[in-house]
Amino acid sequence: MSKKHYIIPIFVPHRGCPHDCIFCNQKRITGQVNNVTAEDAKLIIEKYLRTIKDKQANVEIAFFGGSFTGIPMDEQNSLLALANEYLYRGQIDYIRLSTRPDYINNIIVENLKKYNVKIVELGIQSMDKDVLSAANRGHSPEDVEEAIKLLKQEGFIVGAQLMVGLPKDNEEKALETAKKIVELKPHIARIYPVLVIKDTYLEKMYRYGTYKPLSIEQAVKISKKMLLMLEKSGIKVIRIGLQPTEEMRMGESVVAGPYHPSMRQLVETDIYKDMIIYALKKIYEDNKEIKIMANPKDFSSVIGQHKSNYKFIKAKYSNDSNICFIEDSTIDLGSIIIKNDEKSIKMSKNTFFDEAILEGIINHI
């Protein structure tokens, strides 16, 4: 049985960033206004540790927000030294941080190694230079390539944070970004559909009518293709969509865009719908019982939020056939089995991805 995993998040909002990216307002995204000192961080860590009762769990301290390796070195070291105290005492297992690709070099990497940082996530956003320029990112695709290569060479677990729906971005560019990330082989990735956050330049563009955000449907369509591409190559996608904060849930910070508190499940649900439709085309026969089977851990995504997939399939095949969805713990995670009285098809996301490309179901990949 796998261990539980807990992340103690410490947000360093808008520290170390040399640019004001058009989409960014870290203080609203994180719900945190003040800068964080080592003393503040200690209080946060102690509070979280008190809530973790499972002593066998994996626990990590994660420095998110801003660009950690861009803040003054003494501040970096103060926070990292604090995290190391908990590491040495065995109270945590890993130290993680996020930063910019152009704020990774040999000196910075040696310092991170000194403080036992294990995971470095890079705010890549896109591998298209025009998209990066329009977002005022201030780094290049070449910076990304060099940073990932150096971090992997030095033994770090590397994460790629990607965005879809920035100005000058489109589905083709987003999938090309995913292709290039696959070639660079980071270990993990996050996919963030762009939201218009209050008090950002992107909000001004939206108000002036010069920027149109993706709809939820568009964001799901692009994100699901990126998810399939990345995970097929062995890159684990650990999040899709921003983590809801109290402000975001109340609608105080998100002005527009494809916000949903369960974006990952929407994406997974759409993938399973595609898989079910694809398999049913091969196995469906009138007046025969059809069983759609999945692991209980996947089942909520297979039937869909509010049973959306269940209702769609029932409506699409509305004749005398008896279609039922069944939980089966023997089925592999990420797979489904669809069978009638005579035939059976087992399909994983990866096999669906391969077959869908060959048959032209997934375009532009």
* Cβ within 8 Å of residue 272, ≥6 positions away: 294, 298, 301, 302, 304, 309, 336
**Quick one: pLDDT at residue 365?**
44
CA 142 – CA 124 distance, rounded (Å): 11
Task: Please give the full DSSP string across 151-168, using - where no structure is assigned.
Answer: HHHTT-EEEEEEEES-TT
pLDDT along the chain (365 residues), means of 10: 86 66 66 74 96 92 89 95 97 96 97 98 97 93 98 98 97 97 98 93 94 97 95 96 67 87 95 93 81 96 94 80 90 94 90 73 50
CA 313 – CA 249 distance, rounded (Å): 31
Q: What is the DSSP pairing of strand 344-348 with strand 335-339?
A: antiparallel
Structural domains in the chain plus CATH codes = 5-261 (3.20.20.70), 268-358 (3.40.1260.20)
**Quick one: pLDDT at residue 355?**
77
**Quick one: pLDDT at residue 364?**
42
Q: Taking Cα atoms as reference points, which of 278, 271, 285 lies closest to residue 358?
A: 278
Question: Taking each helix axis from N to C terminus, what angle separates 308-316 and 263-283, rounded to the nearest 10 degrees?
Answer: 30
- What sign has the CA pseudo-torsion 15, 137, 259, 270? negative
**Quick one: pLDDT at residue 242?**
86
**Quick one: pLDDT at residue 281?**
87
Phi, psi of 165 (to 5 degrees): 100, 15
**Quick one: pLDDT at residue 340?**
86
CA 9 – CA 59 distance, rounded (Å): 11
Grouping H, G, I as helix, E, B as strand and the rest as coil, residue 236 is: strand
**What's the whole-model pTM score?**
0.91
Neighbours of 216 (CB within 10 A): 15
Q: Which residue, chain included where needed, has tokens 């990932």?
A: 148
Virtual torsion, Cα 68, 73, 78, 79, nearest 10 deg: 10
Q: What is the DSSP pairing of strand 323-327 with strand 290-294?
A: parallel
